[in-house]
Amino acid sequence: MKIIPFLILFCSLQARATVCENRGPNVILFTWDGVRGQEFFRGTGAFHALELKKEERGEIFSTFWKKHAGEGMVLGGGNRYKIGSRTAVSLPSYQALTLGKATACTKNKDCPPIQEESVLETIQRSLHLQKKDVAVFASWNRIQDAAAKNLELITNGVYPNRVLDETMSEDMLKLQEEGLKDLPEWNGSRKDHYTFELGLGYLKKNCPRLLWISLVDSDEYGHEGKYPEYVRSLRQYDQYLDRLLKALASMGDYGKQTTLIVTTDHSRGAGPLWRGHGVTKNTEKNIFLFATGRGVKPIGRVDDRGLSLQVRPTLEYLMGLSPSGQPLPNILVE
């Protein structure tokens, strides 16, 4: 009678692993708004020490540096990796990211929606992908003006839009409604908790070819001058990244054929100017990028230089299209 426990074990393992029809290649873009290199590379530092309890000081992205950094490539530090928009402001930077070139606007309020195809749309059109294959879940409502010029063609999970089709489970639909009621203290966004869980749920349920999860709590706490909350949101991002990578590791061939890219849209001012950005533009353009998974050399921190404008051609290259510019270094598909 040994076969029965074996069968039970087998079935429970089967139930836990997501089986994806789609085997890839796939790309996930995970962006955190307004995160400084200071906190990403070094931790909390001396300037803010008195605002934090002892146990809150020090390294922030601990799980990342311990478990994941060496499995991929980390660009940045000093001015080695920079944003390609004219100013260190969110919407111009996200538009530069999805278009592969800078748009004319320099302030969020002056930025019209993108007028040309985003990289998500180009990949979708070129590979004849379905609506459910390309998805964006974002906390900040203005991400809609960078994600696509025609949002109806992709799964639009940008706050406050509701996704109401078969790509959503009962639990996800419930979470989506809760996120529209349980709003943060700032305008124009939902809390990152909801955005992340919706994005992760979407990944597991639908195995998308392209997924962008865009978080914003970090930038909002920064503007409010709440350093402990800013740091807490970053430690939460560290955990989210770990969960995302765990999910991919449990997804068989789909996970193996997926590249994950993590980055931010701009840095922030130094010392007493840390709350804002777009002021001392030379340093606030210095950001970081982590890539891991399919096609990425597992070499950890590198000294290579790069620009956020290279993300678009990198996505095109990874998805098998001819890139519209120079892809990021240390990425090579066999």
Closest contact distance (angstroms) between CB of 277 and Zn ion is: 6
The tokens describing 108, both together, are 């969020």
**What gap in Å lies between CA 291 and CA 79, rounded to an integer?**
18
Q: Which of residues 39-68 bind Zn ion (CB under 5 A)?
A: none
Closest contact distance (angstroms) between CB of 34 and Zn ion is: 5
Q: Which is nearer to Zn ion, 67 or 223 (CB)?
A: 223
Output the CA torsion 56→57→62→64 (10° steps): 100
Q: Which is nearer to Zn ion, 34 or 157 (CB)?
A: 34
Type and span of the H or E element at 109: none
Q: Using CB under 5 A, which of the segments 34-42, 57-65, 116-124, 231-239 binds Zn ion?
A: 34-42
Contact 266, 89 (CB under 8 A): yes
Q: What share of the chain is helix, strand, coil (3-state, %, to 5)?
A: 45, 15, 40
Q: Which is nearer to Zn ion, 72 or 92 (CB)?
A: 92
Q: Which is nearer to Zn ion, 83 or 134 (CB)?
A: 83
Closest contact distance (angstroms) between CB of 89 and Zn ion is: 7
Closest contact distance (angstroms) between CB of 219 and Zn ion is: 4
Give the dihedral sign, CA 99/105/108/112. negative
Q: Which is nearer to Zn ion, 35 or 328 (CB)?
A: 35
Applying CB under 5 A, the site for Zn ion has a residue count of 2
Instruction: Select from 219, 238, 265, 284 the one that contacts Zn ion (CB under 5 A).
Output: 219
DSSP state of 110: G
Q: Using CB under 5 A, which of the segments 31-39, 107-115, 120-128, 233-241 binds Zn ion?
A: 31-39
**What gap in Å lies between CA 291 and CA 74, rounded to an integer?**
7
Q: Using CB under 5 A, which of the segments 98-106, 114-122, 159-167, 216-224 binds Zn ion?
A: 216-224
Q: Using CB under 5 A, which of the segments 24-32, 41-49, 106-114, 215-223 binds Zn ion?
A: 215-223
Q: Which is nearer to Zn ion, 219 or 284 (CB)?
A: 219
Q: How many CB atoms lie within 10 A of CB 125?
A: 12
**What gap in Å lies between CA 168 and CA 190, rounded to an integer?**
18
Amino acid at 125: R
Residue 261's closest CA among 280, 245, 250, 284? 245
Q: Which is nearer to Zn ion, 138 or 163 (CB)?
A: 138
Closest contact distance (angstroms) between CB of 124 and Zn ion is: 29
Q: Which residue is nearest to Zn ion (CB)?
A: 219
Q: Which of residues 248-307 bind Zn ion (CB under 5 A)?
A: none
The tokens describing 292, both together, are 């891991």
Residue 260 β-bridge partners? 28, 292
The binding site for Zn ion (CB under 5 A) comprises: 34, 219
